[in-house]
Structure 1
């Protein structure tokens, strides 16, 4: 029941189920696709602090510099030119 107290065991079961569902859903995307989503998401939010490690991760999973730049240029239509430009400047 919503907002009802739960036991520690019920909580552990719920957390385990949520973790398993999250892991299963993440199998739908390759690590490169996940990196694209991460870079685009942080760019859209304007979160430069988390964007820097996302760039490193994207390069580590096999994306090249041109591919990352393409993502940043593409997302400007969705998040606006200023955020895309700041992300490009951060990437540089």
Structure 2
């Protein structure tokens, strides 16, 4: 993608939704959800972002955020706004060995090579869970494209202090799936403009480190 390419209005809405869901700031999340739905995100898009959240910020944040989405949608319906429903995944999610194979392939493609190292030798179960569940069960769901999933993940990780290495990894993955540096700078600015300048600063710092390393 060209360096000057910009995010669409729908894409720009994703990171703030994910960030405020991750930090549990419901008033800000309500505002971000309204802006995203107004920009054309479907109910399915918003729901999928908040379901994926649990893999990075835990079930409690995900469940609370999904509850807020329901409240936001109810309030919009009361104002006469009929949001687009979106769609469920079109493809069947594999199981068993086929799920492990699909997740391993997805992880390898996203990361740009096989993911391995001392941590996964020390705790092989976590590597298995990443392959079968995160990169299998979740990334095989085709109702949200990989670029959108990475915008959400960067938003989540940028909002959380102390996860810089994971944020760095997903900045790299974002570039691998075709997002440009200028688009990621937009994401950082959108986080700041939405009310989380610390998240914006973390995202921008991670991007600068990645570009310096390339």
What TM-score, normalized by structure 1, do the two folds share?
0.66
The equivalent of 1:53 in structure 2 is 169
Does the 8 A contact of 1:38 with 1:54 survive in 2? Answer: yes
Distance 1:23 1:48, change over 3 A: closer
The equivalent of 1:30 in structure 2 is 145
The equivalent of 1:74 in structure 2 is 190
1:49 to partner: Cα distance: 1.6
The SS at the match of 1:51 is: helix
How many pairs align? 73
> Matches of 2:188 and 2:139 in 1, distance apart?
28
Does the 8 A contact of 2:139 with 2:146 survive in 1? Answer: no
1:64 to partner: Cα distance: 0.6
1:30-81 alpha-carbon deviations (Å, 9 max, x no partner): 0111111111111111321210010110000001101111111112224x21
Q: Which has the higher helix share?
A: 1
Query: Does residue 39 in structure 1 map to residue 154 in structure 2?
Result: yes
- Rg: which structure is higher? 1
1:25 to partner: Cα distance: 7.7
The equivalent of 1:86 in structure 2 is 202
Query: Does residue 64 in structure 1 map to residue 180 in structure 2?
Result: yes
RMSD between superposed Cα atoms in Å: 2.3
The SS at the match of 1:37 is: helix
Distance 1:53 1:24, change over 3 A: closer
Does the 8 A contact of 1:43 with 1:83 survive in 2? Answer: yes
Query: What are structure 2's unaligned runs of at least 5 residues?
Result: 1-94, 97-132, 209-214
